[in-house]
Amino acid sequence: MERQYRNLLEQKNTENKEAFDYAHQKYKQLVWLLKSIDQRQQTVRLVTEAIVDYQQQFFDTGNLRPMTLRHIAEMAGVHESTVSRTTTSKYIQTPRGCFELKAFFSKGLQRAVGEDTSATVLKQSIREWIEEEDKCKPLSDQKITDRFQSEQGIKVSRRAVAKYRDELKIPASSKRKRFA
């Protein structure tokens, strides 16, 4: 079948012009489709490489840096909406496991000294502290806020702590309290 189409495209004779035009049109569509697939692969590769470069600290230590679409768009030389579309429903296999590319994006919170820290790291700390808490005296959102400030130099609001705790599906301290 392929040979017939190729012969038809090479002949350019006028006796079967309708068939030639049809085959030529389909060939152009094929070339366009192949170029589009190649361009998409290049974009996915550029964006993924930018994410891996930016989040190298995560691959080394497990700590996720705050990262926005704008950071990656600038590094990859594409628009933010392209980064958003490119990372949707795409996964990457890493030595630390398989992750959706969207998982590497998180807003940052300013530390008193040093680099910003990501919301993901804050959630991880909240989960750990609550798992280790005295169940008879669970940590309130305000106590968690104070602990971030005193131990890590991170200024985070009580409302943000409550939001992160809710996102982690951890109940409020009054619901976690156990009586001896």
Residue range 133-167, pLDDT digits in tens: 888 889 899 999 998 888 888 888 889 889 889 98
User: C-alpha distances in angstroms, 77 versus 18, 74, 82, 84, 127?
Assistant: 44, 5, 10, 13, 36
Per-residue b or e along 117-156, where b marks 16 or more CB atoms closer than 10 Å to that residue's CB: bbbbbbbbbbeeebeeeeeeebbebebbbebbeeebebeb
Predicted pLDDT at 60: 87
Query: Which tens digit of pLDDT belongs to each residue from 59-75?
Result: 888 778 888 899 899 99
State the pTM of this model.
Answer: 0.59
pLDDT at 23 over 90: no
Please, which residues bridge with residue 98 across strands?
A: 93
Please give the residue that has the higher pLDDT: either 12 or 131. Answer: 131
Confidence of residue 103 (pLDDT cuts 50, 70, 90): confident
Percent over 70 (pLDDT), the chain: 87
